[in-house]
Chains A and B, each alone.
Chain A
Amino acid sequence: MNNDKVLEIKNLSMTYHTLDGETHALDDISLNINRGEIVVLVGPSGCGKSTLLSIIADLIEPSKGEVLLNNEKLKKSTKDVGYMFQKDNLFEWRTIKQNSLIGLEIQDKVTKEGKEFVEHLLDIYGLGEFKDSYPSQLSGGMRQRVALIRTLATRPNFLLLDEPFSALDYQTRLAISDEIGQILRKEKKTALMVTHDISEAISMADKVVVLSKRPGRIKDIIPIQLTCPDCDRSPMKSREAPEFKDYFNRIWKELDVHV
């Protein structure tokens, strides 16, 4: 992996203000993500993972610190960040193709090439025959795939995935995370993903970042290196690597879960 930095987070802190008081959500977060890397964020509930993603997506302003994308400050006008949600957020009144095109419509980039690119993505990821169907006719896993294509359609440099599989049932979740993991590798995307699922984190990540309880601080950054000769880092096969359980135990300890 070359050391070409795509995302640079510098001393980021975030405090929310409400009438009842203030919540310190994130504390002094610094993190770099290189081109082609998939970084997975794990941490206890309410540790500010989603806040961090919202800041990177430029939906909210941090209290302190800054985020650089390709060495530039985030600006509303340059939308280089794609965001995938826990819910697919498909519009029920639009067909699958129209849903996939919404990002291009918003950015006023619905060109012939754009349309062809979306059709191509739908075709290669098994949704070709559903282009003119409505979301209600698709299964949960397929809908989440459409959501990813909608995100990829604007060709973002950098992807944010906010627990993208947690709304799916377990089998679908395994299958779709495997598939989407491979899509991300194939399209050579740089991504930051949030999850609660430690196995999912290890199977997909180049680096796992462990956050502490609120206020969220970076507790540890664990580079994942799996000896798995011909798995090509497919998430499903990565789970068979001998180091898998060691990483699992290490992250589990770091998370310091007390029920």
Chain B
Amino acid sequence: MSNSNKSKEHENYIKSIKKRKRYIKTTQWLILILFFGIWEMLARCQIIDIFLTSYPSEMFDLFINFVKNGTLFEHLGISLMENVVGFLGGTILGIIIAILLWWSDFISKVLDPYLVVLNSLPKTALAPIIIIWVGAGYSGIIVTAISVSIVVTIMNVYNGFKEVDIDKIKMLQTFGATKFQILKKVILPSSVPAMINSLKINIGLSWVGVIVGEFLVSRAGIGYLIVYGGQVFQLDLVMMSVLVLAIIAALMYQGVALIEKKYMKWRQ
């Protein structure tokens, strides 16, 4: 359809769609602004106990302070490093193990009940053990983060592998493809969406591991700020850290979504 000779009706249709989109965006922003506005107002009018809830402007002052003296970047940097290593590690190791399961039907059948049990186990329960075994530092926290995301990655990616159309595999076999060629030419490329999906989920899961790890190790990082703030009842520190965490996690998610868009041109 050419843009030059659009009918009036079509123009109206596009207008109404755009209008609706604008309403949705406005309402989304409004909720956010109202939420913080009312919070601030209730605090100023002393309707809520600011000792328990803190309030936005106090949090913002603290934020500026932390940014100025560099404390925030120090803690954020540590947590980010642990998180990135954690989710990349969880995703990559998970994919490698999924490939192994695909390669050997025997191994996959044998490991199946173990994976089911591990998947239903809340991985944070393992965190104290991991930290004792691996060490109360970055490495322990990273391993905790990996442990949270790896099992679900294995299962999702392996299921993605198994969903590959059997006829496509048969097609490659008629050309004489080896198992490795089948993996490389069809199994891996058609599972890219499943892998990127895992990556997205793993960012969130890995944050769970990192924060729990930092709670336990209590030395540095956003998780440490939260748990420290809680212990000394400095709620502005707790709230500010949680907000920063939320924003960073959302930005990372968007980053992966962008990569997805770039590499999935063929999906249109």
Is B99 at the interface (CB under 8 A from chain A)?
Answer: no
Q: How far is the CA of A82 from the CA of B173 in the complex (A)?
A: 11
How many interface residues does A have (CB within 8 Å)? 23
Residues facing B in A55-76 (CB within 8 A) are: 57, 59, 76
Pick the interface stretch among A102-110, A122-130, A185-193, A244-252. A102-110
CA distance A99 to B168 in the complex (A): 12
B180 to chain A, nearest CB (A): 11
Q: Within 8 Å CB of B190, what residues of A? A: 91-93
Q: Does B71 contact A (CB under 8 A)?
A: no
Chain B: interface size category: 20 to 34
In the complex, which residues of chain A have a beta carbon less than 8 angstroms from the beta carbon of B186?
Answer: 91
B181 at interface, CB cutoff 8 A: yes
| Interface residues in A94-139 (C-beta closer than 8 Å to B) | 94, 102-103, 105-107, 134, 136
Which among A89, A94, A134, A136 is the interface contact of B171 at CB below 8 angstroms? A89
Is B177 interfacial (CB 8 A cutoff)?
yes
Among B175, B177, B265: residue with most chain A CB under 10 A? B175
CB distance from B2 to the nearest CB of A (A): 19
Does the CB pair B176–A93 fall under 8 Å? Answer: no
Interface positions of B (Cβ within 8 A of A): 165, 167-168, 170-177, 181, 185-186, 189-190, 192, 265-268
B262 to chain A, nearest CB (A): 13
Are B185 and A83 in contact, CB atoms less than 8 angstroms apart? no
CB-based A-B contact count at 8 angstroms: 56
In contact, A93 and B266 (Cβ under 8 angstroms):
yes
Whole-angstrom distance from the CB of A210 to the nearest CB of chain B?
A: 25
19 more contacts with CB within 8 A, not counting A81-B174, A91-B190, A93-B192, are A57-B174, A59-B174, A76-B176, A77-B176, A82-B174, A83-B171, A83-B174, A85-B170, A89-B171, A91-B168, A91-B189, A92-B266, A93-B189, A94-B266, A105-B185, A106-B172, A106-B181, A107-B175, A136-B267
CA distance A69 to B268 in the complex (A): 43
Across-interface contacts of A82 in B (CB, < 8 A): 174
Which secondary structure dominates where chain A touches chain B?
loop
Complex contacts, B174 vs chain A, CB 8 Å: 57, 59, 79, 81-83
In the assembled complex, A87 has its CB within 8 A of some CB on chain B: yes
The 10 residue pairs across chains A and B that have the minimum distance between CB atoms: A83-B174, A79-B176, A106-B175, A103-B175, A89-B171, A134-B266, A106-B177, A93-B266, A89-B168, A57-B174
Q: With the chains together, A50 CA to B176 CA distance in Å?
A: 18
Nearest-CB residue, chain A, relative to B265? A134
12 A–B contact pairs at CB < 8 A? A59-B170, A59-B174, A79-B175, A79-B176, A85-B171, A89-B168, A91-B186, A91-B190, A92-B266, A102-B172, A106-B172, A106-B175
Closest CB of chain A to B161's CB: distance in Å? 15
Residues of B within 8 Å of A94, CB to CB, are 266
B164 to chain A, nearest CB (A): 11
Chain A residues within 8 Å of B168, by CB:
89, 91
Is the Cβ of A89 less than 8 Å from the Cβ of B165?
yes
| Per-residue contact bits, chain A 6-32, to B (CB 8 Å; 1 contact, 0 not) | 000000000000000000000000000
B265 CB to closest chain A CB, in angstroms?
A: 8
Determine if A154 is an interface residue (Cβ-Cβ < 8 Å): yes
Q: Bound state CA distance, A87 and B181, in angstroms?
A: 21
Say yes or no: A85-B167 contact (C-beta < 8 A), given A93-B190, A136-B266: yes
Within 8 Å CB of B171, what residues of A? 83, 85, 89
Which residue of chain B is the closest to A81 with respect to CB atoms? B174
A83 to B268, CA, bound (A): 29
How distant is the Cα of A154 from the Cα of B171 in the complex, in angstroms?
Answer: 13
**B159 to A: closest C-beta gap in Å:** 19
CB distance from A93 to the nearest CB of B (A): 5
Which of chain A's residues has its CB closest to B264's CB?
A93
The residue in chain B whose Cβ has the minimal distance to the Cβ of A89 is: B171
Q: Determine the residue in chain B with the shortest Cβ distance to A54.
A: B170
CB distance from B182 to the nearest CB of A (A): 9
Residue from A57, A59, A106 whose CB has the most chain B CB atoms within 10 Å = A106
Inter-chain CA distance A83–B167, complex, in Å, is 11
- Report the minimal beta-carbon distance from B10 to chain A, rounded to whole angstroms: 24
Q: How many Å lie between the Cα of A76 and that of B181 in the bound state?
A: 14
Q: CA separation between A73 and B189, bound complex, in Å? A: 34
**Chain A hits for B181, CB < 8 A:** 106
